[in-house]
Amino acid sequence: MHTDTAKLDLMTQVAAANLNAIPAAKSTEPRAFIEAAVNWFGHWWTMRSQWDTIAPGYCAMVFNPDFTGGGVPSGFSEKQAFRDAPDPNLGGHIHVSDSTLTRIFREDQGGHTEADSICRRLKTLSLSKAPCVIFAPQTGIMLAAEQGVAGPMTPCHLMTFDGVLTVPSLDSLMTGLYETELKYPETIPHLWRDKENFVPIFQAEKLFQGLLYIHLKGNTQGTCIVIREDQTNAGRTDLTLTSLNPLTTFVVEMKVLKSFFYHPQGKPVKPFPRKANENWANEGIDQLRGYRTAKQAKEAFLLLYDMRKKHAPLQKASERCKSESVLFRKYDIFNATARELRDAKKGRPKTRSAPAARPAAHSPASSASTPSGNI
């Protein structure tokens, strides 16, 4: 009995140390690489206090097995024991990796102070379509690009997390993502198919799911297992979070509130009325009731991302959540930047000039910028 207990304790310790290293896809797939890189940078972020100095600038982790399959390319050096010995000199460099972050080639040329510089260099290296994660070690800003820097990117701000899965701690992470990235279309304009007419993209819920998933994976190192589309006998949860010490499970369901039905070409063919949005929210509550039972979850969150013209409250859904112990959260998504909205209220003409970059909530303002052509 004593031996079995010791084995169980050891297995628990190993699992706790590698919680977010469990991929949701095969290791050879881009999605799995993105998760592995996000996990690695998130783990690095929790260890950054061990170094007196951190190299400045953006760095990149790029997935290209063909690049790393032969000898060391000209202008690159192979990094040994990379996964086991996080490097304080990450900043400014491009790293090209195999699917497991086992074999890493770092370009000798560094000095990338901006993400745009990384994007330009990857294009020169013919790696602009290779899945990658761009990271700023000094500020914790991370940009995940499953289709490479030539496609859309998923931003994430690594934040201070107390390591305990509670309602306040999860709320803090979700609110942090909303305030820094989602509220205004400054960094993720591809939320909208036609923002002037309040038409979201076709699969907006999948995008929100992916954004929050990457954000939580990066920020909950050593604390939680974060699973996307977790299969249960009641269906698939959008997100399931499970901590081991103490053993706690939260389930999350997301719904997008909209003013128009989706259309393949992004045209609002007919309105999506208030009652339809109420029904959509209620469907989420029904799903959560099943998920909570199936996963024996302590808490169930209904997240409503409100992309309607008018962010009217959903009183009935809110009241039902209270009566059924579901945590109701509604995030209002705007189709204009904060500056444009302020100008509109004052009767000023719209301006096309970009607003000043907002610093991450956890760090001082940085001169580093995100790629303006991709975000």
In a domain, 166, yes or no: yes
Rounded CA gap, 214 and 287, in Å?
23
In this structure, the answer to whether residues 70 and 172 fall within a common structural domain is no
Reply yes or no on whether the pLDDT at 12 is more than 70. Answer: no
Is residue 361 included in any domain, yes or no? no
Q: Does 81 or 32 have the greater pLDDT score? A: 32
Residues 295 and 209 in one domain: yes
CA 13 to chain centre: 26
| 75, pLDDT greater than 60 | yes
Q: How far apart are CA 121 and CA 368, in angstroms?
A: 16
Asked if residue 129 has pLDDT above 80, the reply is: yes
- Write the pLDDT tens digit of every residue in 16-51: 555 554 555 555 678 888 888 888 888 888 888 888
In CATH, what number is assigned to the domain containing residue 97?
3.40.1700
Residue 316 belongs to a domain with what CATH number? 3.40.1350
Shared domain for 194 and 302, answered yes or no, is yes
- Identify whether 372 is part of a domain: no
Which residue has better confidence, 365 or 125? 125
Q: Is residue 363 part of a domain?
A: no
Tens digit of each residue's pLDDT (9 = 90 or more) over 156-182: 888 878 778 999 999 999 999 999 889
More confident residue, 112 or 68: 112
* Helix/strand/coil for 312: coil
Residue 305 has pLDDT above 90, yes or no: yes
5 and 113 part of one domain: yes
Mean pLDDT of 219-238: 85
* Whether residues 123 and 167 fall in one domain: no
Q: Where are the beta strands (DSSP E) in the chain?
A: 59-63, 76-79, 94-97, 104-107, 132-136, 141-145, 154-157, 192-194, 199-200, 224-232, 235-244, 247-257, 299-306, 327-332
Note whether 124 and 257 are same-domain residues: no
User: Which of 115-124, 194-203, 353-362 holds the top average pLDDT?
Assistant: 115-124
Q: Give residue 370's pLDDT band: very low, low, confident or very high (50, 70, 90).
A: very low
Q: Among residues 158, 188, 211, which one ends one of the domains?
A: 158
| Residues 297, 192 within the same domain | yes
- Terminal-residue alpha carbon distance, the chain: 56
The verdict on 165 and 153 lying in the same domain is no
In a domain, 356, yes or no: no
Does some domain include residue 152? yes
pLDDT of 372 higher than 50: no
Q: How confident is the model at residue 220 (pLDDT cuts 50, 70, 90)?
A: confident
- Model confidence at 364, pLDDT cuts 50, 70, 90, reads very low
Q: Which of 127, 158, 189 is the last residue of a domain?
A: 158
Q: Convert the pLDDT of each residue in 236-287 to its tens digit.
A: 899 999 987 788 999 999 999 999 987 777 677 789 999 999 999 999 999 9
Query: 79 - beta bridge partners?
Result: 104
The rounded distance, in Å, linking the Cα atoms of 158 and 3 is: 40
The model's confidence at residue 4, banded by pLDDT at 50, 70 and 90, is: low
**Whole-number pLDDT of residue 166:** 93
Has residue 218 got a pLDDT over 70? Answer: yes
In the DSSP assignment, the letter for residue 325 is T
**Residue 289 — φ and ψ, nearest 5°?**
-60, -45
pLDDT at 349: 56
Residue after which a domain boundary falls, among 158, 183, 218 = 158
The count of domains in the chain is: 2
Residue ranges of alpha helices (H) inside 18-101 are 30-47, 65-68
Both 170 and 268 in one domain: the answer is yes
pTM for the structure as a whole = 0.78
Same domain, 170 and 37: no
Residues 287, 250: one domain? yes
Is residue 130 assigned to a domain? yes
Confirm whether 371 is domain-assigned.
Answer: no
Task: Quote the percentage of the chain above a pLDDT of 70.
Answer: 83
Closest-CA residue to 295 (of 228, 243, 242, 238): 242
Give the residue numbers spanning the domain of 3.
Answer: 1-158
Q: How far apart are CA 169 and CA 219, in angstroms?
A: 11
Which residues are within 8 A (CB) of 346 and not within 5 positions of it... i.e. 6 or more apart? none
Per-residue pLDDT tens digits for 311-352: 999 999 999 999 999 999 999 999 988 888 888 777 665 544
Please give the C-alpha separations between residue 267 and each of 14, 42, 84, 306, 309, in angstroms, as whole numbers: 51, 39, 50, 19, 15
Strand (E) or helix (H) holding 216:
helix 204-219
User: What sign results for the dihedral spanned by CA atoms 4, 247, 45, 144?
Assistant: positive
Our separate counts of H helices and E strands in the chain read: 9, 14
Residues 332 and 256 in one domain: yes
